[in-house]
Structures are given as C-alpha cells and as structure tokens.
Amino acid sequence: MRTLLQLALKSLLNRKFTLGLTWLSIGLSVMLLLGVERLRSEARESFASTASGTDLIVGARGSPTQILLFSVFNLGFPTKNIDFNTYVELAQLDATDWVIPLAMGDSHRGYRVVGTATHYFEHFRIRNREPLIFNQGSAFGLDQTFDAVIGAEVARKLNYSIGSEIIVAHGTGDISFIEHDEHPFTVTGILEPTGTPVDQLILVPLDGIAEMHHGFYGEDDHGHHHHHHGHDHAHDPLTGVLDGHNGNTGEVSLSALLIGLENRAAALSVQRYINEFPDEALTAVLPGLALQDLWSILGVIENTLLLITGFVVIVGLFGMLTTLLTSLNERRREMAILRSVGARPSTIFSLLVGEACIITVAGNALGLALLYLGLMMGQPILQSHMGIYLHLGLPSAHEWGLIGLITLLGLGIGIIPAWRIYRLSLADGVTPKL
Amino acid sequence: MVKNPRAPKVNPIISISDLQFRYHPDSELILNIDSLVVQPGQSLFIQGPSGSGKTTLLNLLAGVLVPVQGEISLLSTQLSTLSASERDAFRSNHIGFIFQLFNLIPYLSVIENVTLPCQFSQRRAGRTQSRTESQSKSKALPQREAIRILTHLEMEPFIHRSVTELSVGQQQRVAAARALIGSPELIIADEPTSSLDAHQRDRFIELLFGEIRQTGSTLIFVSHDAALAKHFDQVVNINELNRDSALKSQ
C-alpha cells in the first residue's frame, strides 16, 4: 500500500507540469462551486438572522415579500403608510408583547434614517436572538427628540462619533434637494457591527421625524395631538412608550410595524386579525414564510448558478481524464516493468485510480484554500456593500458533502483510464507491444 | 556448480512438457513444445528470429499467460495450480527480468529502480541480507545490496544520476542489477544486448555471468544473435523446440 502510494506520488511529480495545470483547473472549479454555495448559504443565513425575534411584520396592504424587504432589509420602499393609531391599537392587543414602529423615507448621505421608538433597542433581535449591543453611548432617552443611534457601518464610513451632527434629507439617495437642516440630530449611540442591514441604519425617535417635518412644513401646532390620540394614558400599556413622545408622533405615518407576540402560537390568528383590520387595509407577514417565498423566487437563480458551477467542476475533472488517458500509451512500458517485478493487474488498476484520487483530493484542498483566501479578501467588501456577513468558519457538513461528492466523481472518472491500462497490462504481460 | 543436465537427484528449475499455446481458441498454435528441462544453475540460450514465439514463451514462464494445454513447472511448482495473483507473487519472489529496452521507470532513481522487486517481494528483500555482511543489520539492506551489485556491474559512478540521463548500456546494467537483487532462482533476459554495440554487449554478458556465478541463479537468455551462444551451457533454437514452427515458417 505504501509502495503504491509512493509510486503514484512519484509518478505524478514526474508529470508535474501537465498535472499541475489539471490540479489548478480542478482547484479553481472547486473554489467556484464552494464559493457559490457559501455565498448562497451565508446570504440565507444573513437574511434569516436579520429579524430573528420578530413574529409578525405589518405594512399597508401589499406584497408580503415587499413588506419584508423594505422593513428589515433596507430594500425598496413602502407604497403606502400605516396610520399611527393602528400602531397604538395593535400595541394594546393582549396578544402582542411589543410593537416597534418604523417610519422611513428620509436619509442622510445615502443611509436610511428610520424613525422608531426607544424600545426598538430592547426588542429587536438579530442572528440567534441576540440583542443589539452599543459600542458607544446608549439608546435615545424617552424624552429625547433629536438624538440618533447609528449603525456600525454608518459610523465607520462617515467617521461619526458620539456628538456628531446629522442633517437629514427628505427622500433617499446621496443627493437630496430638500434638507431638514434646521433640525439636526446628534449621535448619542453607536451600535456594534452586526453583519445585518442594521449596520447601515440611522435610528432616530419618531418625535424627531415628526418635529423635523413640522418644522419643514412650517407648522408649529403642538396643541392638537393629545386629544388626537384619544386614549387614557393612565391605563395604557403604551404609557411608557407614548410618554416619550411629545405628541408629534400623531402626525407621523408609519411604514411598518414589527410585532413580538406574547405567545408565538398565536401568530396565525393575530395575522388574520391584522389582515382583516377594520380601520385600515393591512398585511401582516410571517417573516419566516415571507423569506421562504423570497427564496423560492431566488431559488431558480441559485440553482442555475449551482448547475453552472457544478458543470465547471465536471469540466475540470474531464480535463484530468484527458490528461490521464493521453499519458497511458507511454506508461504501458512502466506498467510492464511493474508487472515483471510482481505487480498484479489489480495493483496497476489501483495505481491509476489512486493517481486520479490524489489529483482530486489535492484539487479539493486547493479549492478550499482558494475559497478561504477569497473569503478573507471578500469579507469586508461583501459586508459593506451587501450587508452579508461571511463566516470564516470551517466548511459546513453540506460543503464537506460536496467535497466528498467531487472526490467520488474524481474516483469514478479515474476508473476509466485505470480500466484501460488494466486491460492493456493484461494483454501486454511483461512485454509491452509498442 | 551443476554442469551436467542429467544429474539425477536435483529437481529441474524449469520443466515444460507437452506445452501448447494459442491466443484465441480458433487461431493457430503459437507454441507447441514437447519438452524443455533446465537444471538449477544452468544457463540456457534460446535462439530464434523475432516472431517465433520467444516473447510468448517468456510470458508463459512469467505466469502472465496460461497455456491452453500442457504444464509448466518452475522450482517444482506447477504454475497451473496457482491463482493469477499467486503467480504474480511467485514471479516477484523467484524471477528477475531484463528486457531489450525501456527497462527503467523514469521517475524513480537508479537505486529505487534496482530495489523495486524488494518492494513487491518480502522474500527477495530478505535475501539481500544474506548477501551483505552478516553483522550489519541496518534497515537499508536492499539499498546497500543494490549499491553492491551496481558496483560489481561497474555502475558506481552513475548511481546518483537520473535514469533518463543514462546511456542505453548503463540502463541495461541497472536493469540487470534489478533482476539480480535478492538472488532470484531464475533470471530471464529478453534480447538484453540487442541495443548495445559489440563491445558493450560482450562486457554486459561478462558482468552478468560474473554475478550469476556468485548467486547460482539459472539464466534464460533469449536472443536472435547466434554469436552469443558460446557463453551458455545449453543452447536451443526456438524453431527446433517448437513442433509447429516448421509448418508456420513456410
């Protein structure tokens, strides 16, 4: 066995140029396949980890996928808004534990400004139900209007620290013609990097958004809102939340609500209740289901990519087959010598299969090495551009499975030249006919 | 040294009786040998033109081919009683081969080429010990034995060369060293001198016989070159041996 392995290795080294190219092409194709797989699973994981604690997402009547995308993934915009009273009513339901309001539509230097309540930081969960952690500062207080909490990427890219001032522009995009510059926000908290779209958010109190828009439209009517709410603060479970708002929130229409339930089992009945909400046409989305819908759409693209990269690997392995087959004729002498010193035909067969196996395994190893090199280089780029956090962890069971499959395939392909040389060496015996 | 082929009490090293061989059941016979007996320590020269079945006979002796009829016994072992893999093991234990050309594996060193049979045969690896001094029991016995034989064959200066850099004559000596290592009972040489010039040829034969005389191996030497016959104890012409060849050559 050791003899055989040594022979195979020395024989491979003897042909290191042609086989090196074969090795390289298999390595590159393996890297491509594993890279696509890694990106796919990381993207899924990243998406799934973005709203891990949220049981329902509510938006104005519309497509669940769209609601999911704009509410937690910073992709696209709501077409319609939700009335503030709906928020109040849903928050008062017995079934809801907490409701986070989200008001979108403003931006600062390309980053989304989202109006929300301070309990966002208490309830919003990422990844494996981990809470958001502050790197510096803290959440805005209940009575703060022009405080802002910024995501890690915003802080890093714009070089902001605690105390930096943010002037919010209406609409999203880098260049906006309407700026709310009379009402700058002050950074009071910076979040730890999460690898989720939260990194790209500027979170401000709903009051701030309301005040800012008031200021802009020249309205300075702070008087009418109390009866607008029309409910008794004393018995209100929202007291804590609403006390923080100075009342302008009544003017703010919301883009989406994130809901945490007392009992997750009630998700379907609450969803139906919201979908049939009498005052307003709403759509309640179960994030998990909406994600599945999204994946089923993207699945076609994913599978196409997988198919293509799979074929690239097969092409790489066929390159190996060609290289091994073309060398067979000149190796008949070698096999006759080995036969003459006592090698069995099965030894000759194993030698060739072993060579194919070594090339494939080495190709896999190269592919993995290239993959991790690529991941290390691509990690910061992907995180900042797509909010996808790539783990540099060990290959997953699925990836090992793919590697195993490729190795088996290489072994299977190795049988072709092995079988040919086996037949030839049976016919040649110790005297090759050349 | 047993010089008399009719010495009564020694078992023959090769005994062929009533041998017939054809490649396909409906093709004509290639070999049809009534009887061939070679005693231990003898040297046999088989002379014949190419295409006369010499190569087939060697493959039969090697156990790579199986006769359709008749019996081949090597060292009192009937080859037909062995399985294919037992014949492979038998070959590596008891037979050393030298071919006309391309005897060496290009990606192995000179020493590795010579010690190759010891990788496949424990017996031959073990027998290198009895040839080297008994007090030295280091692991690298086959290597040391290889160097010893190569030195005898005047190959010492070329031991560390790549085999692809050796001349044909040097390659043949390396091949001879490989056939000789571990002192197999039988050395089969198939036209080993055909690619050598007259001077190299004579020197090769001289060195080969020098080694064989020491190990007591039996040498089967196949060649078309009748001039070599004078070196051997026993000479047969394949056409005389082969009952069918008279018919075939017409």
Provide the shortest C-alpha distance from residue A324 to chain B (in Å): 16
Over 50: is that where the pLDDT of B247 sits? Answer: no
How large a percentage of chain B has pLDDT more than 90? 1
Q: Using 50, 70 and 90 to split pLDDT, how confident is the model at A113? A: very high
Q: Note the pLDDT of residue A346.
A: 86
Interface check for B108 against chain A (CB to CB < 8 A): the answer is: yes
Contact A6, A310 (CB under 8 A): no
Could you give the CA distance from residue A264 to residue A390 in angstroms, rounded to a whole number? 30
Query: Which of B85, B91, B110 best probes binding to A when mutated, by most A CB atoms within 10 angstroms?
Result: B91
Could you give the CA distance from residue A53 to residue A56 in angstroms, rounded to a whole number? 9
Could you give the CA distance from residue A34 to residue A372 in angstroms, rounded to a whole number? 10
Nearest Cα residue in chain B from A425: B64
Do B97 and A11 lie within an 8 Å CB cutoff? no
Indicate the residue of B65, B102, B116 with minimum beta-carbon distance to A429. Answer: B65
Over 50: is that where the pLDDT of A226 sits? Answer: no
Q: Note the pLDDT of residue B145.
A: 84
Q: Using 50, 70 and 90 to split pLDDT, how confident is the model at B84? A: confident
Q: Which residues of B69-103 are buried (b: 16+ CB within 10 A; e: fewer)?
A: ebebbbbeeebeebeeeebbbbbbbbbbbbbbbbb
Over 70: is that where the pLDDT of B39 sits? Answer: yes
Contact A90, A58 (CB under 8 A): yes
Q: Using 50, 70 and 90 to split pLDDT, how confident is the model at B130? A: low
Q: Using 50, 70 and 90 to split pLDDT, how confident is the model at A244? A: very low
Backbone torsions φ then ψ of A352, nearest 5 degrees = -70, -45
Where in chain B does DSSP place strands (E)? Answer: 14-21, 31-38, 43-47, 69-74, 77-78, 95-98, 186-190, 218-223, 234-237
Give A4's contacts in chain B (Cβ within 8 Å): none
Higher pLDDT, A229 or B35: B35
Q: Note the pLDDT of residue A410.
A: 93
Over 70: is that where the pLDDT of B81 sits? Answer: yes
Q: Note the pLDDT of residue A276.
A: 93
Interface check for A334 against chain B (CB to CB < 8 A): the answer is: yes
Q: A147-150 and A179-191 as β-strands: parallel, antiparallel, unpaired? A: parallel
Q: Note the pLDDT of residue A236.
A: 40
Interface check for B23 against chain A (CB to CB < 8 A): the answer is: no
Distance of CA A220 to the CA centre of its chain: 44
B142-157 per-position pLDDT tens digit: 888 888 888 888 888 8
Provide the shortest C-alpha distance from residue B64 to chain A (in Å): 5
Tokens, residue B119: 């990788």
Q: Note the pLDDT of residue A407.
A: 93
Indicate the residue of B62, B84, B106 with minimum beta-carbon distance to A340. Answer: B62
Interface check for B189 against chain A (CB to CB < 8 A): the answer is: no
Query: Which of A332, A341, A347 best probes binding to B when mutated, by most B CB atoms within 10 angstroms?
Result: A341
Provide the shortest C-alpha distance from residue A341 to chain B (in Å): 5
Q: A179-191 and A165-170 as β-strands: parallel, antiparallel, unpaired? A: antiparallel
Nearest Cα residue in chain A from B100: A431
Query: What string of DSSP letters covers B192-223?
Result: TTTTS-HHHHHHHHHHHHHHHHHHT-EEEEEE
Indicate the residue of A10, A342, A343 with minimum beta-carbon distance to B107. Answer: A10
Q: Using 50, 70 and 90 to split pLDDT, how confident is the model at A174? A: low
Indicate the residue of B65, B105, B119 with minimum beta-carbon distance to A337. Answer: B105
Burial label for A176, CB within 10 Å (0-12, 13-18, 19+), is middle
Could you give the CA distance from residue B34 to residue B14 in angstroms, rounded to a whole number? 13
Contact B206, B113 (CB under 8 A): no
Per-range mean pLDDT, top range of A213-222, A395-404, B70-79: A395-404
Q: How far is CA B248 from CA A419, B23, B28, B238, in A?
A: 35, 15, 9, 12
Q: Note the pLDDT of residue A250.
A: 53
The CA radius of gyration of chain A, in Å to the nearest whole number, is 31
Interface check for B162 against chain A (CB to CB < 8 A): the answer is: no
Mean pLDDT over residues A235-252, rounded? 47
Indicate the residue of B62, B121, B178 with minimum beta-carbon distance to A429. Answer: B62
Per-range mean pLDDT, top range of A98-102, A214-218, A236-240, B51-55: A98-102
Q: Which residues of B126-164 are buried (b: 16+ CB within 10 A; e: fewer)?
A: ebbbebbeeeeeeeebbbbbbbbbbebbebeebeeeebe
Give A429's contacts in chain B (Cβ within 8 Å): 59, 62, 64-65
A385-427 per-position pLDDT tens digit: 666 667 788 888 889 999 999 999 999 999 999 999 888 888 7
Indicate the residue of A13, A334, A342 with minimum beta-carbon distance to B91. Answer: A342
Q: Note the pLDDT of residue B244.
A: 56
Tokens, residue B65: 């081919």
Provide the shortest C-alpha distance from residue A422 to chain B (in Å): 13
A36-76 per-position pLDDT tens digit: 888 888 878 777 777 778 899 999 999 998 999 899 888 88
Q: Using 50, 70 and 90 to split pLDDT, how confident is the model at A223? A: very low
Over 50: is that where the pLDDT of B135 sits? Answer: no
Question: Strand, helix or coil at B121?
Answer: coil
Strands of B31-38's sheet in order across: B31-38, B14-21, B69-74, B77-78
Q: Note the pLDDT of residue A74.
A: 84
Interface check for B77 against chain A (CB to CB < 8 A): the answer is: no
Interface check for A386 against chain B (CB to CB < 8 A): the answer is: no
Do A342 and B88 lie within an 8 Å CB cutoff? yes
Q: Using 50, 70 and 90 to split pLDDT, how confident is the model at A188? A: very high
Question: Strand, helix or coil at B149?
Answer: helix
Interface check for B195 against chain A (CB to CB < 8 A): the answer is: no
Q: Using 50, 70 and 90 to split pLDDT, how confident is the model at A114? A: very high
Tokens, residue B13: 């090293």
Mean pLDDT over residues B38-63, rounded? 84
Question: Strand, helix or coil at B21?
Answer: strand
Over 80: is that where the pLDDT of B59 sits? Answer: yes
Per-range mean pLDDT, top range of A305-319, B124-138, B229-243: A305-319
Mean pLDDT over residues A134-148, rounded? 86
Could you give the CA distance from residue B75 to residue B30 in angstroms, rounded to a whole number? 25
Could you give the CA distance from residue A78 to residue B152 in angstroms, rounded to a whole number? 93
Provide the shortest C-alpha distance from residue A418 to chain B (in Å): 18
pTM of the model: 0.72
Indicate the residue of A13, A341, A429 with minimum beta-carbon distance to B92. Answer: A341
Tokens, residue A4: 């055989």
Over 90: is that where the pLDDT of B224 sits? Answer: no
Over 60: is that where the pLDDT of B8 sits? Answer: no
Higher pLDDT, A204 or B121: A204
Q: Note the pLDDT of residue A175.
A: 57
Do A346 and B89 lie within an 8 Å CB cutoff? no
Indicate the residue of A333, A338, A430 with minimum beta-carbon distance to B59. Answer: A430
Do B88 and A344 lie within an 8 Å CB cutoff? yes
Interface check for A329 against chain B (CB to CB < 8 A): the answer is: no
Interface check for A245 against chain B (CB to CB < 8 A): the answer is: no
Could you give the CA distance from residue B72 to residue B86 in angstroms, rounded to a whole number? 15
Interface check for A335 against chain B (CB to CB < 8 A): the answer is: no
How large a percentage of chain B has pLDDT more than 70? 88
Q: Note the pLDDT of residue A233.
A: 38
A120-133 per-position pLDDT tens digit: 998 888 877 888 89
